[in-house]
Structure 1
Amino acid sequence: MTGSEDRPSFRLAYVPGVTPDKWARIWNERLPDVPLSLTQVPAAGAEGVLLDGDADAGLVRLPVDRTRLSAIPLYTETTVVVIPKDHLITAADEVTAEDLADEIVLHPLDDVLGWEERPPGRPALERPATTADAVELVAAGIGVLLMPLSLARLHHRKDLTYRTVTDAPQSGVALSWPEDAHTDRVEDFIGIVRGRTVNSTRGRQPDPAPAGRKPAAGKQQSGKQQTGKQPSGKQQSGKQQTGGARRGGGTPRKKSGSGGARGKPRRR
């Protein structure tokens, strides 16, 4: 990390379909003195926004260029097919790509599913410029459209519905930032999306105790566990005591004939 930021705010970009509201609310609670600036950007342009320095981090769709950007995958979305409410497909709770073989499947230029070849079904004569344009065509009865669930909700219309497609590609969402710009503020946001508590050390190791520091008063210094009460005003030494102090000051009796030498306590 490069340390504290010079910028007074944290700039977060996010792509359509991603909802940063929950994380933004937590940010504002924890860091009220650092304004969070939110900017929605097209999915295809998110990498450029980060690499050009126009945002500190972004909620983007995978994949990203991992040679220049760091990314933490957050979740993977269900893929659905958007259809008119009176379409035959609505009779099922979910469908497969094969079920769409006879349908005209629209493939907008800003598609985010990353098909290896092309979507299932029959292609339209032209590719719509945007997902929003494709949704309008679905409403006009010209075809059907596959997209992540969040985009289907974003482009919701009363005359359209959707069904899950079980074997279609899925879109992953990640938190991403430039490799050379992993700042403390980025780490703060990583902690929020990962659910760290406000008192978390954010993955850092705690500072070691200064050399030579003595244990705090009242702390036991030996490795053995103390099982009895320590006599008041006396420091425990030698073998640990297993009972209370003896009467008469707690001093063990001397052996008879020992010549004044301190003997061992009598066996109980």
Structure 2
Amino acid sequence: MTGSEDRPSFRLAYVPGVTPDKWARIWNERLPDVPLSLTQVPAAGAEGVLLDGDADAGLVRLPVDRTRLSAIPLYTETTVVVIPKDHLVTAADEVTAEDLADEIVLHPLDDVLGWEERPPGRPALERPATTADAVELVAAGIGVLLMPLSLARLHHRKDLTYRTVTDAPQSGVALSWPEDAHTDRVEDFIGIVRGRTVNSTRGRQPDPAPAGRKPAAGKQQSGKQQSGKQQSGKQQTGGARRGGGTPRKKSGSGGARGKPRRR
């Protein structure tokens, strides 16, 4: 059986807030015969998707189980507090956890910041089920919410804004895949996220040497020939001085006289 079902593919999972568009575009340019399948998964379920074999690799939030998954950290996000636009906190460009001590700070069940104990401020009576639910509560004036910047942008509302929290935990994003499934396709995607060129990607045959290399050798040879010509020219010039050229006329009685001067 032939057709699209038999075509090899690469399955990439990614968590909310991560935008794989740039890397997907590069993949499609470099590997047009290998379809890239993108699937968004909850941050808490990303590890299970990889370990169950439902994706070849994933753009996940750290930490991950490093005994079973490989991971390459890509970047760390700024943490912000999401607040109503008329909130007092908007008077500052940045805030600290202490500045939120008197605020009701929502802590959704799918929080990705990994607080050691709990967020700063006063806790709400109940924890929202999702980050989206918590954003709705912020819009209703129930409290404020801390989250990575990308999630704040993902859940953007016209009546809400955000400010950087300088001393809050941060969320790191990594490319991860099962330890026992480091395939050539995974290596191809590693090369893309690390900014490798096509020729430096492992497992690819190197391109032929650029056409400019051979002419370079020719130029060197030509330079030697030219040097030889210059040396030959110097010898000829020397020969002309030894008698091969036109002798100079000497001034004196034996030489040609010029026109007589008028008296």
- TM-score interval, normalised by the smaller of the two chains: 0.7 to 0.9
Residue 113 of structure 1 aligns to a residue whose secondary structure is: coil
Shift of 1:114: 0.1
Change (3 A) 1:196 1:247: farther
Q: Residue 220 and residue 40 in structure 1: after superposition, are their counterparts in 2 closer, same or farther (change >3 A)?
A: same
Distance in 2, matches of 1:85 and 1:51, equals: 42
Question: Could you tell me how far 1:133 is from its partner in structure 2?
Answer: 0.2
Q: Distance in 1 between matches of 2:197 and 2:153?
A: 31
Q: Secondary structure at the match of 2:46?
A: helix
2:258 aligns with 263
- Dislocated runs of 4+, deviation >6 Å: 1-7, 203-226, 232-268
Deviations 1:70-112 (A, max 9, x none): 0000000000000000000000000000000000000000000
Residue 229 of structure 2 aligns to a residue whose secondary structure is coil
**Closer, same or farther: CA 35–234 of 1 in aligned 2, 3 Å:** same
Residues 170 and 17 (structure 1), Cα distance of their counterparts in 2 relative to 1, 3 Å cut: same
Which is further off, 159-168 or 5-14? 5-14
Contact 1:3 1:183 in 2 (8 A): no
TM-superposed CA distance for 1:198, in Å, is 1.2
Deviations 1:106-138 (A, max 9, x none): 000000000000000000000000000000000
How far off its partner does 1:202 sit?
2.7
Cα deviation, 1:210-231, whole Å, max 9, x if unaligned, reads: 99999999999999999xxxxx
Q: Structure 1 residues 217 and 169 mapped into 2: Cα distance closer, same or farther (>3 Å)?
A: closer
Aligned counterparts of 1:174 and 1:77: Cα–Cα separation in 2? 11
Q: CA shift at 1:42, angstroms?
A: 0.0
Q: After the TM superposition, which of the residue ranges 126-135 and 207-216 deviates more from structure 2? A: 207-216
Higher mean displacement: 84-93 or 209-218 = 209-218
Counterpart CA distance in 2 for 1:114 and 1:265 is 112
Partner residue in 2 for 1:229? none
Higher Rg of the two aligned structures = 2
Whether the aligned pair in 2 keeps the contact of 1:2 and 1:181 (CA below 8 Å) is no
Q: 1:155 to 1:216 in 2, by over 3 A?
A: closer
Does the 8 A contact of 2:82 with 2:144 survive in 1?
Answer: yes
Moved more, 188-197 or 212-221: 212-221
- 2-structure distance, mates of 1:217, 1:264: 60
Shift of 1:7: 6.6
Q: Deviations over 1:215-257 (max 9, x none)?
A: 999999999999xxxxx99999999999999999999999999
What residue is the counterpart of 2:10 in the other structure?
10
| Aligned partner of residue 6 in structure 2, secondary structure | coil
Q: Distance in 1 between matches of 2:4 and 2:73?
A: 25
Name the SS of the counterpart of 2:24 in structure 1: helix
Other structure's SS at 2:223 match: coil
1:67 corresponds in structure 2 to 67
- Secondary structure at the residue paired with 1:80? strand
Q: Is the 8 A contact 2:113 2:148 kept in 1?
A: yes
Does structure 1 retain, via aligned residues, the 8 Å contact 2:13–2:41?
A: yes
Larger CA deviation: 174-183 vs 237-246: 237-246
Q: Which structure shows the bigger proportion of residues in helix conformation?
A: 2
Aligned to 2:248: 253
Q: 1:221 aligns to what SS in structure 2? A: helix
TM-score, normalised via structure 1 length: 0.75
Kindly state the Cα deviation for residue 158 of structure 1 after the two structures are TM-superposed: 0.2
Normalised by the length of structure 2, the TM-score is 0.77
Segments of structure 1 that go 5 or more residues without pairing to the other structure are 227-231
Check conservation: 2:199, 2:207, Cα contact below 8 A: no
The number of aligned residues is 263
| Counterpart contact for 2:18–2:59, Cα < 8 Å | yes
Separation in structure 1 between the aligned mates of residue 221 and residue 70 of structure 2, nearest angstrom: 46
Where 1:83 maps in the other structure, the secondary structure is: strand
CA distance 1:116–1:218, change in 2 (3 Å): same
C-alpha contact (below 8 Å) 1:3/1:184 kept by paired residues: no
Unaligned runs of 5+ in 2: none
